[in-house]
């Protein structure tokens, strides 16, 4: 082999020594053995060599080609064997990484629990518009023009007559306008009011209940809600009905429970006001009914001893992960 060819072999050996990937080896092979590589140039030069030198030079080139191919093949085998070792070093029987799965939000869990309980009493779920007009949100519910709830400080108005509903009672109104009694519905959904602090949010969730039929009285209301509170909290609770006022019910009451030694209000309720029935063309001489409203965030806070309502909306994984085991 000529000195030049011996030098090329040494050069190749040096590059193969530092080569540590099949991609790099492929580039080296192309550089030396490719169509436009070093070896191809040497064969081109063979045509111009003297006739007396061609035989010896041809033998040297063939030896150069064979040795280069052998060296590159050996390096490829070495790289492949090292890759096999890496694969074998991986114990596929070891447990994989734990994947943290999401879970239902505590608000969603509470809504589902309440709907399951009320559903077992025969209430049917009805949903409705979140952008309402004043008639369905206020007037039909016996809320007068000068009532504080109709002030812009308390209600989000979209236009002069359009607003974000302040309660799901508007869904009850629309239901009574299209369905004949008897009627037994629950109306879950988001509601909106201009309020924000650790115990109030401008957007929150409600489920309201409505039962309209002949001969419905306050006893039916009390029995339903006493039983509901026991089922929801999973135990007997001290309960008191406290007289209150709502424009859409008469008589009206708020229910308090004894919680950690203190009386806390948990919901409002009452017998549907005769004016409300008249506003939706239901005969208030023949039919009576009761209604109640549940604040979902409040009940969830009591159930899980949460002190700040804003935690529900912070998307804090450490907080939300506490509810993974709840169904």
pLDDT digits (tens, 9 = 90+) for 262-309: 999 999 999 999 999 999 999 999 999 999 999 999 999 999 888 888
Identify whether residues 40 and 82 lie together within a single domain.
yes
Residue at 98 is within a domain: no
Identify whether residues 238 and 272 lie together within a single domain.
yes
Calpha distance 194→151 (Å, rounded): 10
Lowest mean pLDDT among 51-55, 251-255, 285-289, 322-326: 51-55
Identify whether residues 161 and 270 lie together within a single domain.
yes
The pLDDT of residue 112 is above 80: yes
315: which 2 tokens?
A: 């998307």
Residue at 97 is within a domain: no
Decide: 256 and 264 in contact? Cβ < 8 Å: yes
pLDDT in tens, 144-178: 887 766 665 588 999 888 999 999 999 999 999 99
The pLDDT of residue 214 is above 90: yes
Identify whether residues 160 and 34 lie together within a single domain.
no
- The domain boundary residue, chosen from 59, 89, 119: 89
Q: How many structural domains compose the chain?
A: 2
- pLDDT value of residue 308: 86
- The domain boundary residue, chosen from 37, 64, 89: 89
Residue at 101 is within a domain: no
- pLDDT value of residue 85: 61
- CATH number of the domain within which 148 lies: 3.30.930.10
pTM for the predicted model, two decimal places = 0.68
- pLDDT value of residue 322: 84
- pLDDT value of residue 318: 82
DSSP conformational letter for 2: -
Packing angle of the helix pair 22-33, 51-89 (nearest 10 deg) = 170
Decide: 251 and 243 in contact? Cβ < 8 Å: yes
Residue at 110 is within a domain: yes
The pLDDT of residue 255 is above 90: yes
Residue at 30 is within a domain: yes
Lowest mean pLDDT among 84-93, 171-180, 210-219, 264-273: 84-93
Identify whether residues 20 and 142 lie together within a single domain.
no
The pLDDT of residue 216 is above 90: yes
Identify whether residues 84 and 115 lie together within a single domain.
no
Q: What is the mean pLDDT of the chain?
A: 88
Percent of all residues in the chain with a pLDDT value above 90, rounded to a whole number: 50
Range of the domain at 275: 106-323
Calpha distance 237→247 (Å, rounded): 28
Identify whether residues 157 and 284 lie together within a single domain.
yes
Identify whether residues 267 and 216 lie together within a single domain.
yes
Residue at 100 is within a domain: no
Calpha distance 12→17 (Å, rounded): 9
Residue at 96 is within a domain: no
Residue at 15 is within a domain: yes
- The domain boundary residue, chosen from 89, 118, 137: 89
Token pair 């009452």: residue = 270
- pLDDT value of residue 281: 96
What are the strands of the beta sheet with 183-192, ordered from one edge?
A: 124-125, 183-192, 203-213, 288-295, 262-272, 249-259, 239-246
Identify whether residues 66 and 207 lie together within a single domain.
no
- pLDDT value of residue 194: 83
Identify whether residues 78 and 160 lie together within a single domain.
no
Identify whether residues 111 and 85 lie together within a single domain.
no
């Amino acid at each position: 082999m000529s000195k030049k060819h011996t030098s090329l072999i040494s050069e190749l050996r040096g590059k193969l020594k530092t080569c540590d990937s099949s991609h790099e080896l492929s580039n080296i092979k192309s550089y030396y053995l490719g169509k436009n590589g070093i070896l191809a140039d040497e064969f081109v030069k063979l045509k111009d060599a003297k006739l007396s030198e061609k035989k010896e030079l041809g033998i040297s080139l063939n030896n150069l080609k064979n040795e280069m191919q052998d060296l590159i093949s050996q390096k490829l085998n070495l790289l492949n064997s090292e890759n096999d070792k890496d694969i074998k070093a991986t114990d596929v029987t070891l447990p994989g990484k734990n994947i943290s799965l999401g879970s239902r939000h505590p608000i969603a869990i509470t809504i589902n629990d309440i709907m399951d309980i009320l559903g077992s009493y025969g209430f049917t779920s009805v949903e409705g518009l979140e952008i309402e007009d004043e008639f369905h949100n206020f007037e039909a519910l016996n809320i007068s023009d000068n009532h504080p709830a109709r002030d812009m400080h308390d209600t989000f108005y979209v236009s002069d007559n359009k607003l974000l509903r302040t309660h799901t009672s508007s869904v009850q109104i629309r239901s009574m306008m299209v369905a004949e009694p008897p009627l037994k519905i629950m109306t879950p959904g988001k509601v909106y009011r201009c309020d924000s602090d650790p115990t109030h949010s401008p957007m929150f969730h409600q489920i309201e209940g409505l039962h309209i039929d002949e001969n419905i009285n306050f006893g039916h209301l009390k029995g339903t809600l006493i039983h509901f509170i026991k089922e929801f909290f999973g135990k007997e609770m001290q309960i008191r009905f406290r007289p209150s006022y709502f424009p859409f019910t008469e008589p009206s009451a708020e229910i308090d429970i004894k919680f950690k030694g203190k009386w806390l209000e948990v919901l409002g309720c009452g017998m549907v006001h005769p004016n409300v029935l008249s506003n939706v063309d239901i005969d208030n001489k023949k039919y009576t009914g009761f209604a109640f409203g549940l604040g979902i965030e409040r009940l969830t806070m009591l159930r899980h001893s949460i002190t700040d309502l804003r935690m529900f909306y912070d998307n804090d994984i450490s907080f939300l992960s506490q509810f993974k085991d709840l169904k």
